[in-house]
Amino acid sequence: MAKEAVEKWLASFTDALSKHDYEAAANLFEDKDEGVYWRDLVSFTWNIVTFEGRAKIKEALEKTVPGHEPDGEWAIFKEASGADGAFESHFTFVNKRVRGRGYVRIREGKAYTFMTAAQELRGHEEKSGRQSTREQGVIPGVHGWPENWINPDKENGGSNADFNPPKRELHADVNPPGGQMKENWLERQEKERADLGMGTQPYVLVVGGGQGGVHLGARLRRLGIPHIVVDKVERPGDSWRNRYRSLCLHDPVWYDHFPYLPFPDHWPVFTPKDQLGDWIEMYVKVMNINYWTRTTVQSCKFDDAKKLWSVELTRDGKPLTLTPAHVILATGMSGFPNMPSFPGETDFKGKLFHSSKFPGGHEFKGKNVVIVGSNNSSHDIAADCCNCGANVTILQRSTTHIVTSDTLLNTMLAGLYDESAEKNGLDTNTADLTFSGIPFKMLPDIHKGAVVEQKKRDAKLLEGLTNSGFMLDHGEDESGLFCKYLRRGSGYYIDVGCCQLIVDGKIKVQPKAVVKQIHADEVELEDGTKLQADVLISATGYGNMNEWIKALIDEETQKKVGKCWGLGSGTTKDPGPWEGELRNMWKPLTQPQLWLHGGNLHQSRQHSLFLALQIKARMHGIPTPVYPVPFTHHAEGGYGK
C-alpha cells in the first residue's frame, strides 16, 4: 500500500512538472499556508531553502522548474513505509541538471513534507566506479603491468603473447609514443603542487584547514576542481591537537564520519582530539587534498570587473598573491573569542585567559581555578582541572541545557547514527538525508517529546545538579539541545562526566554570578561573595562567524552579508523573522563568489557536497539561477534592507 501510494504521488508530480502545470503540481500538497513544506538543497533552486505553504511552493516551482524539468526516473529508494493513509519514503530523481535524492511524506494522497537534494551534477560526476571515470592507475596498461610499461620479455630477447596493452589515445605529456611513460603518479602530483598557486591559479581558495576545510577539499578533488586549502598550522590536524589535553568529541563516531572514508569499526565512540588530528592528517594525504600549512591570509579583495579575488597571504614567512575565482571561509561556525573585560583585572596576580588558550589542567594542580561560563568548554575545562587536583568553581551566569551523551544517543540519534543503523544497512548518506527530510520548523515539536524522555533518563543527575545550585533549562520552548544549537550554537553541555563531579561537590557552582571586581588574588561577585583565585578562565564563547569577513575582507562586506547562523526563531540570540534555514551557510551570499562553510562534523560532511556542486556548476558555466536571491540578514536599517 505504501509503495503504491508513493509511486502514484511521484508519477503525478513529475508529470505535472514535465508539462509545466504548476497548479496540478501544487495541488499534490496539502492546501495549507503553514505546516506544508518543500525543502530544496541545490537541486532546483541553486540554494538551500525551505518554502512553506501550498502557494509559496507553487510560486517556487514556477520560478525554478524551467531548465530543471524531470529528465529520468523518479523512483522509491529501498522501500516506502507507513499505514492508515500516511506514508513516507526516500526516492531518487533526475532533472535536466542533477541527479538527486529526496524524501516525501504523504497524508491521504497529499504531501506535507517534500525534500529534494542534489547528489551529482549531470555530465560532471565525481571520479568513481570502475565503469565510469575512475582512474586506471596503470596507464595506459593492463592489469598487472607497471605504469612505465615496456615488454619485459622482449627486452630479454623473448616474447610475451599476453602483453597486449589496450589501444587508447596517447597524450604526449603522460604517455609519449612508444609506450614509455614520462611521469608516474607521484611525479605528476609533485608537478601539480609546485605549479598550483605559482603558475596555475586555484579556482577555489579554502581558508581554514580543520574538518570543514578538508571535507570540502576532498569534495573539490573528487570533482576535479583546482583548489588550495590554507591554514596557519604546522601540520594538518593541529587545530585539534593544539587544544586542551582532555578534549574529546561529544558526538558519537557514527555521527562524525568523514566523506568517502568512514572511521573504522574499532574507533572510539567519542574521538580524542589528538586521534582526530591524526585522522585529518591522514585524510589530507589519502584524499590528495592540496593543503598549504604555515599559511596566513592577510587580506582578500574582489575585482568586480575580472570576477576574481586578489588574496594576499604569507606562506612560510614569504608574501604571495593568489587570484582564485571563489573564496570559501571554512573557519568554523564561530568568530573570535568573546573576552570580557573585568573591573580591576589589571590588579590580578594570577593567570587570566580565554578558554581557547587553556593549556590543560595539569598546570593548575593545587590552584584555585574560577571559570566564567557554564557550557561545553566550561565543563570540559572544569573536569580536567578538578581531575588534576585543582579547586574549581564555575560562575554560572544563566541557565544551561544538560543532557548526557548516552541519553542523547539513545533518544535523538538511535536508528540513524549508531551501530544498529549500520547493521540494518542504513548508510551515512541516507541517514543524513533522513534527517534533512525534516523541515527545521517541525523540529521543536518533534524534539519536545524526546526531551520528556531525556528528563526521565537523566532524572537523578538533573536532580543532583539542581540541589547543587546549578540552573537548568531544556530550551526556551522545551525543545532541547539540537534546536538550541541551530538557533544560537551555545547554551548547552553534552555531559561526558563533569556533571557528576558537580553533584558530588568536587566542582562548586555559583549561580546567577556576576563579577563585580577582580582583586589581586580573588574574584568578588555582585552578591558580595569573594572567591580565592589563582586562575581566572573566561569560557565565554565566540562571536559570530561574520567577524572573519570583516577581518579578512572589510567591514562593508561584513555588513552586506549580515548575520550568520540561526533560524530566526525569535529566541535568545536568534532574532526573527523566521528564515527556515541557517543564515548564509553553504549557499550564495550577497557578496558574489564568497561562501561560508562551518558547523559540526555531521553538517560539514553533508553540506560540503552541496557547496562543491555549486562551485563545480559555476566552473563549467552551467546556469545557476539562485532562488530566492541572496539578501542581507539583519542589516542596519531593517531586516533584508
580-613 pLDDT, tens digit per residue, is: 999 999 999 999 999 999 999 999 999 999 999 9
Q: Quick check: 503 pLDDT over 50? A: yes
pLDDT for 147: 46
* For residue 577, cis peptide bond before it (omega within 30 degrees of 0): yes
pLDDT for 635: 58
* For residue 628, cis peptide bond before it (omega within 30 degrees of 0): yes
Tally Cβ neighbours within 10 Å of residue 345.
14
pLDDT for 184: 79
Domains of the chain: 2-121 (3.10.450.50), 192-335+550-566+581-619 (3.50.50.60), 342-543 (3.50.50.60)
Q: Do residues 534 and 351 touch, judged by C-beta distance below 8 A?
A: yes
* Single-letter residue type at 584: N
| Confidence at 185, pLDDT banded by 50, 70, 90 | confident
pLDDT for 158: 42
Q: Name the helix (H) or strand (E) containing 499.
A: helix 498-503
Grid coordinates in use for 17? 512538472
For residue 315, the SS3 value is: strand
Strands 75-76 and 227-230: unpaired
Tally Cβ neighbours within 10 Å of residue 326.
23
Estimate to the nearest angstrom the gap between the alpha carbon of 591 and the chain centroid. 21
pLDDT for 634: 75
Q: Quick check: 165 pLDDT over 80? A: no
Task: Compute the distance between CA of residue 468 and CA of residue 375 in angstroms, rounded to an integer.
Answer: 16
Task: Compute the distance between CA of residue 543 and CA of residue 530 in angstroms, rounded to an integer.
Answer: 29
For the chain, give the mean pLDDT: 91
Q: How far apart are the two ends of the chain, measured CA to CA in Å?
A: 49
Task: Compute the distance between CA of residue 265 and CA of residue 138 in angstroms, rounded to an integer.
Answer: 31
Task: Compute the distance between CA of residue 222 and CA of residue 511 in angstroms, rounded to an integer.
Answer: 51
pLDDT for 532: 97
Computed over its alpha carbons, how large is the radius of gyration of the chain? 27
pLDDT for 427: 96
| Confidence at 176, pLDDT banded by 50, 70, 90 | very low
Mean pLDDT value of segment 63-86 = 96
pLDDT for 571: 94
* Single-letter residue type at 252: P
The pTM of this model reads 0.92
For residue 227, the SS3 value is: strand
Mean pLDDT value of segment 510-515 = 96
Mean pLDDT value of segment 173-187 = 61
Task: Compute the distance between CA of residue 15 and CA of residue 135 in angstroms, rounded to an integer.
Answer: 38
pLDDT tens digits for 211-246? 999 999 999 999 999 999 999 999 999 999 998 888
pLDDT tens digits for 460-490? 999 999 999 999 999 999 999 999 999 999 9
* For residue 152, cis peptide bond before it (omega within 30 degrees of 0): no
Give a three-class secondary structure readout of 394-441. Answer: EEECCCEEEEEHHHHHHHHHCCCCCHHHHHCCCCHHHHHHHHHCCCHH
Task: Compute the distance between CA of residue 242 and CA of residue 211 in angstroms, rounded to an integer.
Answer: 14
pLDDT for 138: 63
Q: Do residues 349 and 519 touch, judged by C-beta distance below 8 A?
A: no
Lowest mean pLDDT among 40-49, 126-135, 205-214, 365-374: 126-135
| CA dihedral sign, ordered 28, 30, 33, 35 | negative
Tally Cβ neighbours within 10 Å of residue 335.
19
Task: Compute the distance between CA of residue 421 and CA of residue 56 in angstroms, rounded to an integer.
Answer: 35
153 versus 231: the higher-pLDDT residue is: 231
Mean pLDDT value of segment 362-371 = 97
pLDDT tens digits for 410-434? 999 999 999 999 889 999 999 999 9
